[in-house]
């Protein structure tokens, strides 16, 4: 927040919620994605939902209706919408959005060759990770693009100060050992 005081003003609350969101949602997702890219032999698809429509109920509930974009969990109301009036007004977007999720479930790719959705959703790559920006128009963007400063701050902070507890290492060793013993007895 750049040394600013936190007040009850809307702009201050927006900045504070962004700060908390970067630390508790965005950075952990990016770190997990990096872990997946380093360890899995499967494509990893990342997205940033920023569509601002009639079904952004989470944003409304948190008191940020006048703010641009989306908030955490807003996409759920587009995936699992009812047939009320706001959903009918969002039908075109809902159809495109749910098609990507259905394609991923069926084919392991949100925009397979048979899909007419453009642009194609590219899997993230370790060297230059990209994500699909889901908005009125879809676009691919670098992960580090607009949150560069915040992500770098949290990356540095977690790298320097996050410690694993000794009991966690012991627990993992115990689980491994128990698992090996149960296999050997089989």
What are the extents of the domains in the chain? 10-185
Residues 6+ apart with CB under 8 A from 1: 15, 16, 19
pLDDT at 37: 92
d(CA 23, CA 160): 15
pTM assigned to the model: 0.75
Structure confidence by residue, pLDDT tens digits, 20-36? 777 778 888 888 888 89
Query: pLDDT: is 152 or 57 the higher one?
Result: 57
Q: Would you say residue 7 has pLDDT above 90?
A: no
Q: Would you say residue 74 has pLDDT above 50?
A: yes
What does pLDDT average to over the chain?
80
| Beta-bridge partner residues of 140 | 132
């Amino acid at each position: 927040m750049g040394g600013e005081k936190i007040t009850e003003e809307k702009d201050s609350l927006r900045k504070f919620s962004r700060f908390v969101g970067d630390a508790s949602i965005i950075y952990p997702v990016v770190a997990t994605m990096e872990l997946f890219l380093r360890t899995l032999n499967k494509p990893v698809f990342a997205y940033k939902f920023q569509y601002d429509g009639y079904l952004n109920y989470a944003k409304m509930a948190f008191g940020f209706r006048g703010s641009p974009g989306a908030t955490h969990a807003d996409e759920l109301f587009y995936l699992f919408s009812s047939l009320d009036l706001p959903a009918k007004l969002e039908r075109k977007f809902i159809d495109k959005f749910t098609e990507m999720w259905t394609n991923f479930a069926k084919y392991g790719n949100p925009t397979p060759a048979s899909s007419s959705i453009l642009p194609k959703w590219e899997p993230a790559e370790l060297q230059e990770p990209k994500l699909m920006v889901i908005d009125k128009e879809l676009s691919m963007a670098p992960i580090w693009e607009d949150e560069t400063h915040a992500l770098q701050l949290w990356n540095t902070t977690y790298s320097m100060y996050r410690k694993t507890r000794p009991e966690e290492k012991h627990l993992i060793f115990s689980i491994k050992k128990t698992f090996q013993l149960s296999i050997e007895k089989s």
